Amino acid sequence: MKKTVVVVGYGDRGSVYADYAAKYPDELEITAVVDPDLYRLKLAKEKFGLKDDQLLTDFNELLKRGRIADGAIVATMDQLHYEQAKALLAQNYHLLLEKPVVNNAAELEELRDIAVGRDRIMMVGHVLRYTPFYGSIKQDILDGKLGQIMHIETSELVGVCHSSCSYIRGKWKSEEECGSGMLLAKCCHDIDLICWLNNVTKPTEVVSYGSRDFITPENAPEGSSERCYNGCPHLDTCRFSAKSLYVDNDLFPIYSYPNIKKPHAEITTEEKLTALKTNDPMGVCAYKTGSDLVDHQGVMMKFSNGSTAFHSMISAVPRPGRKIHIIGTEGEIEGFFETNRYTYRKFDFKTSLYTEEYVDVLEKIEKGVNHGGGDIGLIRDFVKRLRGDKPSIAATDISDSVNGHECVYAAEDSRKKGGVRKLDF
């Protein structure tokens, strides 16, 4: 049974989720796309064969049409989510809402209550839950292989290029502008994973430390210019050099050259250089962009059953990736997400040491999908829920997604003002 959705925000994330309709047109159909960028609308028109009246630049124009689909994919910038989600829920749309939902507890709880009161689905774009890697770990926990969880450690090691593209030079570089700090913009995935993997209990206390101490104007290489290509003597040696990241190695193409409105493969070297020398944000010295996000942070959490968790985030590391180590009363799991492999260990009475079992989930990941298979896993579960089919173990009630966000808000308050924050929700 085919279901229909409108897409609000056809950018990096919205286009990924909407692509499911192109791959599986018998399951999902796009009835309208809203985006102020005419170039993005042009791409959507070509991708899905849409008519001009299905392409809208103004969100209010969509609202005037009433409910024209079963669900809505909301993948706009963070600060727009609250008003848009609230308006769509009022028209009885089911929602797939890109993370973070909102940047404060009051609006989050209001949206949750509206969705529950109207019996609407509100799924959050926590794609990591839907990967074979974390899904397999969750199943091991449900199967009792770890016993009761005692402690979880996770690390989000953000690589040089990703840090640069998104949180130093990119559109999430400023909490003042987009409303989200680093923990909310990047690590709400990780805090959500901790709460989801340990959702037999609830978090009760949070404390956090972190700041921006390293990627600052004071630490810029001596003699550096405002732009990499404006005579900077460190063009060929700086780790954040636009030449190395965006010209020589052409990394993270979905984020680079945002002001050039054409497919990345068609952008010439001359156009790249002109953009980096003039108006492209990726050409600004990484130390002088005005970014106000932390470049390192740690979060400690305590749960009602006595278990604990720790998450760390470090920006601009050589080897990016996510680490996880879960220790339970009957066993432990340790893995590195990017390898799609983890190790399960349990105590060995014969040797008084331990045995190891290696779990490899690489073959479970569909080819050509991002986030370790999480992107397509998320939208597939959304479609299943729209159809009334049973989704995967990753798709929980919206209240389960609220826990991680509440921990992030508490952690940020703790980081900025100091002290432990107690949770009661």
Residue-wise DSSP of 358-404: EEE-GGGSPTT-SGGGHHHHHHHHHHHHHHT----TT---HHHHHHH
Contact 285, 237 (CB under 8 A): no
Domain count, the chain: 3
Give the chain's largest Cα–Cα span.
71
Residues 164 and 312 in one domain: yes
pLDDT digits (tens, 9 = 90+) for 70-129: 999 999 999 999 999 999 999 999 999 999 999 999 999 999 999 999 999 999 999 999
Residues 135 and 113 in one domain: no
Query: Domain ends where: 288, 320, 350?
Result: 288
What tokens does 139 get?
A: 């199943």
Residues 278 and 295 in one domain: no
Is the per-residue pLDDT at 401 higher than 90?
no
pLDDT digits (tens, 9 = 90+) for 313-344: 999 999 999 999 999 999 999 999 999 999 99
Residues 194 and 49 in one domain: no
pLDDT digits (tens, 9 = 90+) for 24-55: 999 999 999 999 999 999 999 999 999 999 99
Query: Domain ends where: 108, 124, 140?
Result: 124
Residue-number span of the structural domain to which 46 is assigned: 3-124
Residues 402 and 305 in one domain: yes
What tokens does 45 get?
A: 């028109």
Residue type, 401: S
Residues 257 and 183 in one domain: no
CATH number of the structural domain spanning residue 45: 3.40.50.720
Residues 111 and 141 in one domain: no
C-alpha distances in Å from residue 152, one per residue of 138, 286, 309, 335: 13, 33, 5, 12
pLDDT on residue 386: 97
CATH number of the structural domain spanning residue 398: 3.30.360.10
Residues 114 and 93 in one domain: yes
Query: Domain ends where: 270, 288, 306?
Result: 288
pLDDT digits (tens, 9 = 90+) for 195-244: 999 999 999 999 999 999 999 999 999 999 999 999 999 999 999 999 99
Residues 211 and 119 in one domain: no
